Amino acid sequence: MFNSRNIHGLAELSRKAAAQLNQELRIFDQLMEETVKNVPDDQKPQVEEVKAFSVKAINLAKKGRVEEAQALTKELIRQHQNGRKSNKEGL
C-alpha cells in the first residue's frame, strides 16, 4: 500500500494545494471588494449578494459540505440566469 515516504509526499502536496487555494481565495476576495467599490450604486446590492453567497459556498466546501456548497451555487446561478433576477427577489 502506502509507505511513509508516499504519505509524507501526499501530505506535502496537500499543504501546497491548501496554500495555493488560500492565495486564490484572497485574490477572489480582493477582486470582489474592488468590484463592490467600482460598480454603479444601483448594482451594488446584487454584487454584494453574489459575494456573500460565494463566501458561504466556499466556507461550506472548506468544511467538507460540498453538496450544500454546490446546491447554493446552483441556486445563485439559477436566480441570476441571464441577468434577469429582480432587485426585489431575495436569495
Q: Please write the tens of the pLDDT for every residue from 4-48.
A: 888 899 999 999 998 998 899 999 999 999 999 999 999 999 889
Write down the domain spans for the chain: 4-83
Q: pLDDT tens digits for 67-87?
A: 999 999 998 888 877 665 544
Q: Which residues of 19-50 are buried (b: 16+ CB within 10 A; e: fewer)?
A: eeeeeeeeeeeeebeeeeeeeeeeeeeebebb
Cell of 47: 454584487
